[in-house]
Amino acid sequence: KPIASTSQEAEELCDLADQMNVKLQVGHVERFNPAFQGARERINRPLFIECHRLAPFKLRSTETDVVLDLMIHDLDVILSLVRSEPTAVSAVGSPVLTKKLDIANARIEFASGAVANLTASRVSQNAQRKFRVFQPDQYVSMDFQAGEVSFLKKTGEWKEGHIPLEHETLSLEKGDALLEETRAFTNSVINDEPVLVSGRDGLSALRLAEKIISDATRRLP
């Protein structure tokens, strides 16, 4: 990830895979994270999504913006959940230690009415990979780093002195998301089944990332 340097290159790659009738899977590894796998089936109508992906500074990937380095993971997960076209993108960001965006925040509105707010930083002291989804009668919190999922669900009508809420926490084995990603790809090839994260998925995430970078960059002084 990302699938290519530009969305134009990504589209050419997807077209080529279609023409050659070969499997094309993109390395958006969070789709194989046990926390996401544990919560996925319960997320059916996201209204608001909030993501924080923070990491200490490292020398790798400094030639790209933090949007392509870190935020794109969350963009892919969001698109897989919302399944609706983005209609508006507003972003801010700043170079801090490199000449590229090292920290960025984006607000994305979708045709479905869903809204996502994302923050990504590679100049933080502590690592964090939190993903929160708000939908009718339910709040879902995923910690991609710790492999934990929390659900808060409305179970009845509000009454005086009674809050009809049910809380559930799943502590999942961290597992090996990279291994599961590889297994999924090989299984799709062996059994001639669709890949879980397709080239078109990667293309959609990259197009959205480019819009975020463009809007954040134009706001720089």
CA 96 to chain CA centroid, nearest Å = 23
Tens-digit pLDDT string for the chain (221 aa)? 899 999 999 999 999 999 999 999 999 999 999 999 989 999 999 999 999 999 999 888 788 999 999 999 999 999 999 999 999 999 999 999 999 999 999 999 999 999 999 999 999 999 999 999 999 989 999 999 988 999 999 887 777 767 788 898 887 777 899 999 999 999 999 999 999 999 999 999 999 999 999 999 999 98
Q: Are 205 and 106 in contact (CB under 8 A)?
A: no
- Tokens representing residue 200 in the block: 């078109």
Of the candidates 56, 51, 215, 49, the one whose C-alpha atom is nearest the C-alpha of residue 119 is 51
Q: What is the CA radius of gyration of the chain?
A: 18
